[in-house]
């Protein structure tokens, strides 16, 4: 037999492998494209570097031989609806460091349900991910557990290990879930237990799908009405909202790169522009996202949970090629006050950065914690205190920059508990510091003196005079003379100072690795 000839056993194996591909299922591909979605293998081909994918369990089929003929199972249930393996993502930037694991449910196979063999494949991959320390991307679309498998004895399937194994990876490797289309029950748990969720406009994401809801006597709903993107973006479940799967892959590559290391090629925005971003008028609002973009490398910033607690911005980006986490008060919403949601958003983001050794830059402009009966009804005491606890436990380099207001406990929380906790705390010339809002401090601290002034106009003039004096006392330049912060800096110099501090803090090789910490799902 010549080398060009193929033996029968090899021919049989090659034909079986061919039947796992999209070209063997043109009807399924056509239906998928007709709904505006890509196939699972098309998504993986876009995500993973060419010729780097190593598939596990590609020849698996649904455990339904008691119900269907083998040939039908091979044709209709390739890979048991779960494509899984390893490959490189962003290999052009990181070379060998680009090794990752990828898993994708295939909605064209039994609606992406979780079958018996698929669960075994997940168990295998999750254990390999732990052993190989592989960052992971999961396409989570699917309908949850599959009731139709017949080839194994089962009562409840509650002994399934996949969910515990997946959760155990928290804090060990970064895990990004992509959701497009319908994602319910077990598939939703895998997404929800991930570190980041990227979701498209077609998303319907929920702990229970229509059948489970109706079976529980809770009414009848269309699938797309359950956890649509608009809801899951506002409530903080989704980290990044995108238009479609192509954009989801693009964003995921950028997010993943922040956990893969530094890059050598980068460019910076014009730093002189930072001088004019904070208005001279103290009461004039501005969008802090312009400051975030201005300090970071061109095109490197990806904001997380934008629609949730917009009074606070969290973003991954780069400064001089180094991946960093950025947290910032946004005075365009509630003057940048810290609400319960904002505290949770910041604390969870800081924990994520800490788990994966990303330095944190905090941009402070806040009147403090949100106050009042309505705010307290949101469990403000516990939520805001969580931000202090998280800040005090950080192990990664932390730098704070006071852009304008740094008042009270809210400012301290944004500085990991104290202005002397960060490795560097600097203020811009517009910055001012105080134990609380200055006008409120005047009216409370000098209440009796002010009440003694009978004429209302005279009283208010006295208030204005005292508030002006308080502002002068609170200026960053004055605070710096008492060493309450490390320096007052030209905004155009901020990026250089932050980069230099992070470089100094991460320049000591050979230190023992810190114990791993899990990243809370919320």
Q: State the total domains in the chain.
A: 3
Sole residue written with tokens 């997404």: 191
DSSP helix/strand/coil, 463:
helix
Look at residues 399, 369, 363 and name the one whose alpha carbon lies nearest to residue 382.
369
Strand positions, DSSP E, 38-169: 54-56, 82-88, 99-105, 136-139
Contact 177, 141 (CB under 8 A): no
202 and 320 in a single domain? The answer is no
Which residues face 312 on adjacent strands? 329
The answer as to whether 226 is a domain residue is yes
SS3 call for 216: coil
Q: Residue 54 pairs with which residues in a beta bridge?
A: 86
**Pair 475, 438: CB distance under 8 Å:** no
Question: How many C-beta atoms lie closer than 10 Å to residue 209's C-beta?
Answer: 24
Q: Answer yes or no: is 275 within a domain.
A: yes
Alpha-carbon distance 292 to 237, whole Å?
23
501 and 458 within one domain: no
Q: Domain for residue 265, yes or no?
A: no
**Would the CA dihedral through 127, 515, 348, 303 be positive or negative?**
negative
| Cross-strand partners of 242 | 200
Residues 219 and 300 in one domain: no
Q: What is the pLDDT along the chain (522 residues), one digit of tens a residue?
A: 567 788 899 999 999 999 999 999 999 999 999 999 999 999 999 999 999 999 999 999 998 998 899 999 999 999 999 999 999 999 999 998 999 999 999 999 999 999 999 999 999 999 999 999 999 999 999 988 888 888 887 887 888 899 999 999 999 999 999 999 999 999 999 999 999 999 999 999 999 988 888 888 889 899 899 999 999 999 999 999 999 999 999 999 999 999 999 999 999 999 999 999 999 888 899 999 999 999 999 999 999 999 999 999 999 999 999 999 999 999 999 999 999 999 999 999 999 999 999 999 999 999 999 989 999 999 999 999 999 999 999 999 999 999 999 999 999 999 999 999 999 999 999 999 987 666 666 666 667 777 777 777 777 777 677 677 666 777 888 999 999 999 999 999 999 999 999 999 987 655 555 677 788 888
Q: Does residue 388 share a domain with residue 239? A: no
105 and 137 together in one domain: yes
> Does residue 521 sit within a domain?
no
Are residues 236 and 278 located together in one domain of the fold?
Answer: no
Cα–Cα distance between 403 and 418 in angstroms, integer?
16
The answer to the question of residue 512 being in a domain is: no
Q: Is 323 helix (H, G, I), strand (E, B) or coil?
A: strand
Chain-centroid distance, C-alpha 80: 30
CB of 185 closer than 8 Å to CB of 144:
yes
How do 240-242 and 204-206 pair as beta strands? unpaired
116 class by beta-carbon count within 10 Å (0-12 exposed, 13-18 middle, 19+ buried): buried
Same domain, 400 and 461: no
Separation of alpha carbons 107 and 115, rounded Å: 12
**Whole-angstrom Cα distance, residue 254 to residue 94?**
12
Tokens of 333: 């919403």
CA distances from 42 to 83, 178, 284 (A): 11, 14, 48
Q: Domain of 500?
A: 271-431+475-505
In a domain, 511, yes or no: no
Same domain, 93 and 69: yes
290 and 315 fall within a common domain: yes
484, 390: one domain? yes
Under a CB-based contact definition with an 8 Å cutoff, are residues 190 and 177 in contact? yes
Place of tokens 């790169």: 257
Within a domain: residue 222? yes
Q: Tell me the three state secondary structure of residue 259.
A: coil
- The DSSP string of 293-338 is HHHSPTT--EEESTTSSTTEEEEEEEETTEEEEEEEE-TTTGGG-B
pTM score, two decimals?
0.93
Radius of gyration, CA atoms only, the chain: 27
User: How far, in Å, CA of 467 to CA of 443, rounded?
Assistant: 9
> For residues 321 and 265, is the Cβ–Cβ distance under 8 A?
yes
What CATH number should be reported for the domain holding residue 420?
3.90.226.10
Q: Is 425 helix (H, G, I), strand (E, B) or coil?
A: strand
Burial 361-384 (b: 16+ CB within 10 A, else e): bbbbbbbbbbeeeebeeeebeebb
- DSSP state letter for 475: B
Report which of 292, 367, 381 is spatially closest to residue 333, judged by C-alpha positions.
Answer: 367
Asked if residue 519 is part of any domain, the answer here is no
The Cα–Cα gap between 60 and 81 comes to 9
Place of tokens 């359950």: 226
Q: Are residues 240 and 332 in the same domain?
A: no
Give one word for 299, left, alpha or beta, with left for phi > 0 and alpha for psi -120 to 50.
Answer: left
Give the strand pairing for 424-427 and 175-179: unpaired
Q: Is the CB of residue 173 less than 8 Å from the CB of residue 156?
A: no
Specify the residue for token string 């949730």: 308
**Both structure tokens of 259:** 């956990």
Report the C-alpha gap between 300 and 84 in whole angstroms: 29
> CB pairs under 8 A, 24+ apart, for 221-224?
223/182, 223/184, 224/182
Boundary of a domain, candidates 258, 287, 321: 258
Q: Which residues of 286-325 are buried (b: 16+ CB within 10 A; e: fewer)?
A: bebbebbbbbbbeebbbbbbbebbbbbbbbbbbbbebbbb
Same domain membership, residue 218 and residue 160: yes
Which residue's entry shows tokens 């009978």?
A: 454
Query: For 79-221, where are the E strands, in sequence order?
Result: 82-88, 99-105, 136-139, 175-179, 182-184, 196-200, 204-206
CA dist 134 and 272 (Å) reads 40
- What is the reported pLDDT for 148? 84
CB 329 within 8 A of CB 291: no
């Amino acid at each position: 037999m010549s080398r060009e000839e193929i033996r029968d056993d090899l021919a049989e194996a090659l034909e079986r492998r061919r039947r796992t591909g999209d070209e063997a299922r043109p009807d399924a591909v056509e239906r998928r494209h007709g709904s505006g979605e890509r196939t699972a293998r098309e998504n993986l081909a876009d995500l993973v570097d060419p010729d780097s994918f190593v598939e596990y369990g590609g020849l698996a089929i649904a455990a339904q031989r008691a119900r269907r003929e083998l040939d039908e199972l091979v044709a209709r249930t390739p890979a048991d609806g779960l494509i899984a393996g390893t490959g490189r993502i962003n290999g052009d930037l990181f070379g060998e460091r680009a090794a990752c694991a990828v898993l994708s449910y295939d909605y064209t196979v039994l609606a992406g349900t979780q079958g018996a063999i698929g669960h075994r494949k997940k168990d295998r991959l999750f254990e390999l991910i732990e052993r190989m320390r592989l960052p992971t991307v999961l396409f989570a679309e699917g309908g949850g557990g599959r009731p139709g498998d017949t080839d194994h004895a089962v009562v409840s399937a509650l002994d399934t290990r996949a969910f515990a194994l997946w959760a155990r990876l928290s804090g060990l490797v970064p895990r990004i879930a992509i959701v497009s289309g319908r994602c319910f029950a077990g598939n939703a748990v895998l997404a929800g237990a991930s570190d980041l969720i990227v979701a498209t406009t077609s998303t319907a994401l929920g702990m229970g799908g229509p059948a489970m809801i109706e079976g529980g006597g809770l009414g009848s709903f269309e699938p797309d009405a359950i956890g649509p993107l608009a809801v899951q973006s506002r409530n903080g479940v989704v980290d990044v909202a995108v238009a479609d799967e192509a954009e989801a892959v693009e964003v995921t590559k950028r997010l993943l790169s922040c956990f893969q290391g530094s890059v050598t090629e980068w460019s910076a925005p014009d730093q002189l522009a930072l001088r004019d971003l904070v208005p001279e008028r103290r009461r004039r609002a501005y969008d802090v996202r312009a400051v975030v973009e201005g300090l970071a490398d061109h095109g490197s910033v990806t904001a997380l949970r934008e629609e949730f607690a917009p009074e606070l911005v969290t973003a991954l980006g780069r400064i001089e090629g180094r991946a960093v986490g950025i947290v910032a008060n946004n005075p365009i919403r509630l003057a940048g006050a810290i609400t319960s949601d904002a505290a949770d958003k910041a604390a969870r983001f800081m924990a994520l950065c800490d788990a994966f050794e990303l330095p944190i830059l905090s941009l402070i402009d806040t009147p403090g914690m949100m106050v009042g009966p309505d705010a307290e009804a949101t469990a403000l005491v516990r939520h805001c205190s969580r931000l202090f606890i998280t800040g005090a436990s950080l192990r990664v380099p932390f730098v704070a920059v006071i852009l304008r207001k740094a008042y009270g406990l809210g400012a301290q929380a944004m500085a990991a508990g104290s202005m002397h906790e960060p490795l560097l705390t600097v203020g811009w010339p517009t910055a001012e510091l105080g134990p609380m809002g200055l006008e409120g401090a005047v009216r409370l601290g000098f209440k009796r003196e002010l009440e003694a002034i009978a004429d209302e106009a005279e009283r208010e003039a006295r208030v204005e005079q005292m508030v002006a004096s308080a502002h002068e006392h609170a200026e960053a330049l004055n605070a710096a003379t008492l060493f309450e912060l490390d320096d007052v800096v030209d905004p155009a110099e901020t990026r250089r100072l932050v980069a230099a501090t992070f470089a100094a803090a991460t320049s000591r090789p050979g230190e023992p690795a810190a114990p791993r910490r899990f990243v809370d799902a919320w």
